[in-house]
Amino acid sequence: MLLDTFAALVAEFDERTIPRPTPRTVALPGLPGKADALIGMRRVGKTWRMYQHMGELLDRGVPRPCLLYVNLEDERLAVQASELSKLTEAWYARHPEVVGQEHWLYLDEVQNVPGWERFVRRLLDQGTVHVLVTGSSSKMLSAEIATSLRGRALATEVLPFGFGEALRHAGLALPTAWPVGPAERARLSHAFAAYFESGGFPEVQAVEPTLRRRILQEYVDVAVLRDVIERHRVTQVAALRWLVRRLLANPAGRFTANRLHRDLKSQGHAVGKDSVHELLAHLEDAHLVHTLPLWTPSAARRQSNPRKAYPVDPALSRTAAFAKPEDVGHRLETLVYLELRRRGLSELGYLETNGGFEVDFCGHGPDGEPRLVQVCSSLSEPETRTRELRALEAAMTELGASEAVLVTLDQEERVSLSSGTVRIVPAWRWLLEPAHST
């Protein structure tokens, strides 16, 4: 019966038209002998990135039968890893011509089949099969890649649309030269305002606010249920849901597990400190929330200092009870954090100078040099401007950096300090010109 089910899935895929989605800038390594694993929260576009890859292959002249996509959340499938061989058996029976040439297998939501990595490793050993998998659990995939796959796969994170991707999705042109003129600046600033409100989840682009909030709330509910409660067999559901509301309602907020434990107890949730640590890890595992440590070479200081929590999309903060819709600064900080993740800054953290000043982000670029990024929605108040520049000047001096970036909503200038130059740049521009920014 299972062979018949797989044969039906192969036949169905042959009849489908492969979608041509909005191109994503997420690069896939595509190294010979290694599987590509796309990880990220549900609904961020992992499956569509697979379709994009299929389209690229078809454009190169790869025959259609050499591609096969299977969604392992299909209700017709309840398989063990040992039974996945029947999938390729059904594929090769229908298309025997692919056996002797390169072909590509796409396995969506692969974490639903425990032990999948052994099947994938065996396929890779054949030498002619390329495998792409997606998963909504980073730790599960990472553990499997590190153990059973033994370096035979590379994980790539997929986040919601960046600003440039959102522009392409809306059919809007991206700038081809900098600086832009006043009319283009107004167009991009207006488009950014819409993106800042809607966030980057592909499905909610251009959806009216009330419906968008309902869709995003459903995303959160499904991620919590499927990728935390069911996967990790969580029994303290009320405490988990309180924790989710707390973290989403306070984007860019500092927290410690001890403080969260005390607050949970004050709300009547009987949960131990170890359980709080586990729940936080599960939420990060599901890519619903990311946490940022203090930037320091000392592991002990990183462990003992508060972390900052960022939802995977700034619009998710609007889904939480008691969210602060006027908290523009922290939502902007969340947007900048996610873009820094896309750009792959290593050792990313927030920085506290010796004098006690804070810089929102510090990390290392590809050249190994430190990158300093501060975020402030408006510098119109002299005290705010002084505070933000003072923090950057102190950090630049301590790290020996000659440049830093201060991202705002709409202000732009260059400021010379004793330690170097600070580029004040509006968010819409910083998001679109990565070659010229931190």
**289-292/307-311 β-pairing:** antiparallel
Q: pLDDT tens for residues 116-169? A: 999 999 999 998 999 999 998 887 777 777 777 878 889 999 999 999 999 999
Q: Do both 380 and 241 map to the same domain?
A: no
Q: Do both 114 and 128 map to the same domain?
A: yes
Would you state the pLDDT for residue 436? 47
Q: Are 155 and 39 in contact (CB under 8 A)?
A: yes
Q: Are 324 and 380 in contact (CB under 8 A)?
A: no
Q: Please identify, among 325, 354, 374, the residue that sits at the C-terminal boundary of a domain.
A: 325
Q: Do both 50 and 150 map to the same domain?
A: yes
- Cβ neighbours of residue 354 under 8 Å, at least 6 residues apart? 394, 398
At which residue do the structure tokens 């998998």 appear? 133
Per-residue pLDDT for the chain (438 aa), expressed as one digit of tens each?
889 999 999 999 999 999 999 999 999 999 999 999 999 999 999 999 999 999 999 999 999 999 999 999 998 898 999 999 999 999 999 999 999 899 999 999 998 898 899 999 999 999 899 999 999 888 777 777 777 787 888 999 999 999 999 999 999 999 988 899 999 999 999 999 999 999 999 999 989 999 999 999 999 999 999 999 999 999 999 999 999 999 999 999 999 999 999 999 999 998 999 999 999 999 999 999 999 999 998 888 888 899 999 999 999 988 765 556 568 999 999 999 999 999 989 999 999 999 999 999 999 988 888 999 999 999 999 999 999 999 999 999 999 999 999 999 999 999 999 999 999 999 999 999 865 455
Q: Do both 74 and 121 map to the same domain?
A: yes
Domain housing 116: 2-158
Helices (H), 127-162: 138-146
Q: Is residue 180 part of a domain?
A: no
What CATH number does residue 378 fall under? 3.40.1350
At which residue do the structure tokens 């003992």 appear? 304
Q: Please identify, among 325, 355, 386, the residue that sits at the C-terminal boundary of a domain.
A: 325
Would you state the pLDDT for residue 186? 96
Q: Please identify, among 264, 291, 325, the residue that sits at the C-terminal boundary of a domain.
A: 325
Q: Do both 233 and 367 map to the same domain?
A: no
Q: Do both 317 and 342 map to the same domain?
A: no
Bridge partners of residue 69, in order along the sequence: 106
Structure tokens at 70: 């299977």
Q: Do both 310 and 383 map to the same domain?
A: no
What CATH number does residue 37 fall under? 3.40.50.300
Structure tokens at 27: 């690069």
Domain count, the chain: 3
Q: Do both 284 and 298 map to the same domain?
A: yes
Total Cβ atoms within 10 A of residue 380: 9
Would you state the pLDDT for residue 322? 54
What CATH number does residue 300 fall under? 1.10.10.10
Q: Is residue 196 part of a domain?
A: no
Q: Do both 302 and 340 map to the same domain?
A: no
- Report the SS3 class of residue 364: strand
Q: Is residue 274 part of a domain?
A: yes
Burial of 100 (0-12, 13-18, 19+ CB in 10 A): exposed
Q: Is residue 190 part of a domain?
A: no
Question: In 3D, which of 95, 94, 28 has the Cα closest to residue 62?
Answer: 95
Q: Do both 100 and 11 map to the same domain?
A: yes
Q: Are 163 and 428 in contact (CB under 8 A)?
A: yes
Q: Is residue 335 part of a domain?
A: yes
Q: Is residue 199 part of a domain?
A: no
Q: pLDDT tens for residues 169-181? A: 999 999 988 899 9
Bridge partners of residue 71, in order along the sequence: 108
Q: Is residue 286 part of a domain?
A: yes
Q: Are 190 and 184 in contact (CB under 8 A)?
A: no
Q: Is residue 168 part of a domain?
A: no
Q: Do both 319 and 357 map to the same domain?
A: no
Q: Do both 73 and 48 map to the same domain?
A: yes
Burial of 62 (0-12, 13-18, 19+ CB in 10 A): middle
